[in-house]
Amino acid sequence: MPGMSRKAAVALAASASIALLATACTGQSSSGSDDDASKDTTINFWHAWSAPNEVKAVKTLVAGFEKAHPNIHVNIVGNVTDDKINQALRAGGGKAPDVISSFTTNNVGKFCSSGALVDLNPFFKKADIDPETTFPKAMNEYTQFDGNRCTAPLLGDAYGLYYNKTAFAKAGIKTPPKTWTEFEADAKKLTISDGDSYKQLGFMPNYHGWETTTEHIFAQFSPTYFDSSGKSNVAKDPAFTAGFDLQKKLVDELGGFQKLEKYRATLGDEWGAKHPFHTGQVAMQLDGEWRLGMALDAKPKFEIGVAPLPVPDDQADQYGKGYITGTITGIAATSHKQNAAWELVKYMTTDTDAVVGFANDIHNVPSTLAALKSPKLKYDPRFKTFLDIAANPNSTTSPASINGGQYLVTIQNFGYDFERGKVKNLKSGLDSTAKQIDTDIAQAK
Amino acid sequence: MATITLASKRRRSGLAAKQRKQALRTFAFMSPWLIGFAVFFAYPMISTIYFSFMHYDGFKPPTWSGTKNWTYVFEHYPLFWPALRNTLWLVVITVTLRVLFGLGVGLLITKIKTATGVFRTLFYLPYLAPPVAATMAFAFLLNPGTGPVNSILEKIGIPAPGWFNDPAWSKPALTLLALWGIGDLMVIFMAALLDVPKEQYEAAELDGASAWQRFRFVTLPNISPIVMFAVVTGVIQAMQYYTQPLIAGKVASGVIQGAGTQFEPGYPEKSTLTLPQLVYNLGFQRFDYGSACVVALVLFVLSMAFTALLMRRRGGLNLAGD
């Protein structure tokens, strides 16, 4: 090797080996959508459901698909965590999923921007399905990022207000609150103190109060999380200031952060039978549609009422809206059977009877406008509230972002500091929060 | 002359061949370890350094980003410094207390004359409890509202702490949990203590040494390599502390990750954050493998620095001097 010392040659070889080794473990996505979906084939479908009734419901759903498409066989793999899905989407291969479903709606931005899941827009176009008129507005929004629709909604979740009708009657409250002003008054009326604790709390406003998160409360203010240039809007949109102010006011009026936090530590957990709403320890609860079934199973000693969450006084005409999220499904970019995979995705997400049947079995909100109106839907009359919230065009969601739900976590973390009084100046706090969100997004790009 | 040179060359060449053969044989015997070292240490280590300078989300091919990840972690990542402070707190306080407590329990058990087996079993059993189950049990025991520990404290008039729900008490609560599972250190110290030659104690007693002097000048010098082992492995374990703080924070927060949400560890107020949790948070929740590698390297450097410092100070533990 003229002109190069032996040491330099060894160093070069070592560097090349390192580079090769290091890049060897980085899976590369490759697409292959030239398969013939009319031929006999088997595809892999990975999902995260794990409860026996849910697993059975998925099997029933897939059985319906196989009946409609006898040439496409589906190998179902259940109870798969997002970590495993991510790894499989990177690696690809014969055993990797062709179709995935995930509960982590917040990851849509990452799935789309990285190209891990294929853009479904061409498939929808080819099938002559318009997602805008097929799916509810919010669901349509959270399944795409930057014009790339790499996922489709596979049932949804809508958030509303559960209230203890018996406690309402005792407190002389006739109807559920429609505005936050009414809500504040009702929460105070329903709160019965017991020394430094409570006999009954009207509402647990602390952000660690199960589903009382910033995004769920703020949805009622219809916030715009990002401006047109993709920068955080938290410091500019008054919806955030109003949301933070409302929650802090509730915390202060209902006993203060420390008292509420101490009481919260004595309460049962979110997914158990001793959830404080079931036991009557908390009279109003912000929660998803699944709470109704869980609360009824717990056989509470009071009558359960369900209503949409209140809205700001100046948006009273939008009463009926709520926060929407849900399960998503998509096709792996590494799949070589994308056309067959699309047939499954299309069936699960757009076939009205399939969506209705699955919603009936899982007790979630159907994810198409047609299914929401289907007479075949079986539900408790109170569940209708959630169907209406899902179909409401004013309902909102948190948009997909390149770094998943990190911006929501950053907002939530600021909320923790604000509610306990660690941060007193809301304006400067929101400025810092916006700056942090922008820095995190720049790091992800 | 030429013949002598040729013969000498042949001898040298024969010697070299023999040495080469010897070296090859040595390498052959060492090869299982060398392969293991290359695959499980050298390759991951080099990859970690490589990825710390790359923008890599796990899906797209990595691209060069220079020192961007390092700047982000040290200057803009709000969880890094709290996690580093917590990790150092655990290294200094928890490891010290664990070693002292483990040694104390070991000493006591070697002195007990009756029911030794029962006590050994009782102290060792908690170590066998799976970390998740043990942490959950502790979170329930130390629940500030309903836990039996606070009920007892309140009954006897002692102000009850918030434990895992109070940022000032969450790390002491984790330390209590670590002390509860002291079984591993107890067994190691017991073995070391029983190995101290009895004649040395007899000689010290004849010289009129008190119990403290016997411990200071006989026991401690004899068990100093074991103390060093306990400290070094303790520091490495503390650097890798993940499961217990994560579970404690999750259980105490009352928030179990629901559908479509992203969980950030550290409840309450980032007080249970440790560096390994950041590796997971950055790599698997934020898909920022580059920054996750930076944190992993910080952990590695810290572990090496602590170990090197302790190894250099090893002589200091041998209090009686050699």
Read off the CATH number of the domain in which A71 is found: 3.40.190.10
B57/A114 Cβ within 8 A: yes
B315 pLDDT tier (thresholds 50, 70, 90): low
What is the overall mean pLDDT for chain B? 88
Chosen from B286, B293, B295 to mutate, greatest number of chain A CBs within 10 A: B286
- Tell me how many domains chain A contains: 2
B258 pLDDT tier (thresholds 50, 70, 90): low
pLDDT at residue A219 greater than cutoff 80: yes
Residue among A21, A83, A269 minimizing CB distance to B254 = A269
pLDDT at residue B236 greater than cutoff 50: yes
Long-range contacts of residues B141-145, Cβ cutoff 8 Å, at least 24 apart: B142/B173, B142/B176, B143/A265, B143/A266, B143/B252, B144/A262, B144/A265, B144/A266, B145/A262, B145/A263, B145/A265, B145/A266, B145/A267
| Å between A344 CA and nearest CA of chain B | 22
Residue B5 lies in a domain: no
pLDDT at residue A1 greater than cutoff 60: no
Judge contact between B248 and B272, C-beta under 8 A.
yes
CATH number of the domain enclosing B304: 1.10.3720.10
Residue A172 lies in a domain: yes
pLDDT at A171: 95
Q: Within the 320-359 window of chain A, which residues sit less than 8 Å (CB to CB) from chain B? A: 325-327
B46/A90 Cβ within 8 A: no
Residue B230 lies in a domain: yes
Same domain, A287 and A365: no
Residue A419 lies in a domain: no
Q: Which residue reads 């009936």 in tokens? A: A360
Q: What is the mean pLDDT of residues B2-27?
A: 78
Q: Is A214 on the interface with B (CB under 8 A)?
A: no
Counting every residue written for chain B, the total comes to 322
pLDDT at residue B25 greater than cutoff 50: yes
Identity at B270, one-letter amino acid code: K
The string of pLDDT tens digits covering residues A362-410 is 889 999 999 999 999 998 889 999 999 999 999 999 988 888 888 998 9
Residue B242 lies in a domain: yes
B3 pLDDT tier (thresholds 50, 70, 90): low
Residue after which a domain boundary falls, among A369, A391, A413 = A391
- Tell me how many domains chain B contains: 1
Residue after which a domain boundary falls, among A318, A353, A373 = A318
Judge contact between A49 and A79, C-beta under 8 A.
yes
Residue after which a domain boundary falls, among A318, A333, A363 = A318
Exposure class string for B288-311: b at 16+ Cβ within 10 A, else e: bbbbbbbbbbbbeebbeebbeebe
Residue A410 lies in a domain: no
Residue A147 lies in a domain: yes
Q: What is the mean pLDDT of residues A418-440?
A: 94
Same domain, A137 and A37: yes
Distance of CA B135 to the CA centre of its chain: 18
Residue among A19, A110, A325 minimizing CB distance to B259 = A325
In angstroms, the CA B241 to CA A134 distance is 48
Same domain, A291 and A339: no
| Percentage of residues of chain A with pLDDT beyond 70 | 93
Q: Is A81 on the interface with B (CB under 8 A)?
A: no
A213/B59 Cβ within 8 A: no
Q: Is A114 on the interface with B (CB under 8 A)?
A: yes
Same domain, A88 and A137: yes
Backbone torsions φ then ψ of A346, nearest 5 degrees: -60, -45
Judge contact between A186 and A317, C-beta under 8 A.
no
The β-bridge relationship of strands A41-46 and A99-102 is parallel
Same domain, A133 and A169: no
Residue A183 lies in a domain: yes
A contacts of B264 (beta carbons < 8 Å): 409, 412-413
Residue A377 lies in a domain: yes
- The conformation of residue A107, written as its DSSP 8-state character, comes to G
| Å between A82 CA and nearest CA of chain B | 9
In angstroms, the CA A240 to CA A228 distance is 17
Residue among B59, B262, B284 minimizing CB distance to A408 = B262
pLDDT at B322: 42
pLDDT at residue A24 greater than cutoff 60: no
Same domain, A175 and A306: yes
Q: Give whole-number Cα distances, B198 to A375, B112, B186, B194, in Å.
A: 88, 17, 20, 9
A241 pLDDT tier (thresholds 50, 70, 90): very high
B262 pLDDT tier (thresholds 50, 70, 90): low
The string of pLDDT tens digits covering residues A135-190 is 999 999 999 998 999 999 999 999 999 999 999 999 999 999 999 999 999 999 99
Same domain, A263 and A308: yes
Q: Which domain holds residue A262?
A: 159-318
Q: Within the 192-211 window of chain A, which residues sit less than 8 Å (CB to CB) from chain B? A: 208, 210-211
End-to-end CA distance of chain B: 57
What is the overall mean pLDDT for chain A? 89
Give the DSSP letter string of A313-325: GGGGGGTT--BEE
B256/A270 Cβ within 8 A: yes
In angstroms, the CA A406 to CA A428 distance is 20
Residue B67 lies in a domain: no
Same domain, A120 and A163: no
| Percentage of residues of chain B with pLDDT beyond 70 | 92
A18 pLDDT tier (thresholds 50, 70, 90): very low
Residue among A28, A269, A412 minimizing CB distance to B256 = A269
A27 pLDDT tier (thresholds 50, 70, 90): very low
Q: Within the 243-282 window of chain A, which residues sit less than 8 Å (CB to CB) from chain B? A: 261-267, 269-271
Q: What is the mean pLDDT of residues B102-120?
A: 89
| Å between A276 CA and nearest CA of chain B | 12
Same domain, A123 and A219: no
Same domain, A309 and A370: no
pLDDT at residue A29 greater than cutoff 80: no
Same domain, A190 and A254: yes
Residue A401 lies in a domain: no
pLDDT at B256: 58
In angstroms, the CA A304 to CA B238 distance is 48
pLDDT at A135: 95
B contacts of A206 (beta carbons < 8 Å): none
A contacts of B283 (beta carbons < 8 Å): none
Q: Is A403 on the interface with B (CB under 8 A)?
A: yes
Same domain, A147 and A244: no
Q: Which domain holds residue B240?
A: 81-321
In angstroms, the CA B267 to CA B253 distance is 6
pLDDT at A368: 95
In angstroms, the CA A216 to CA A210 distance is 11
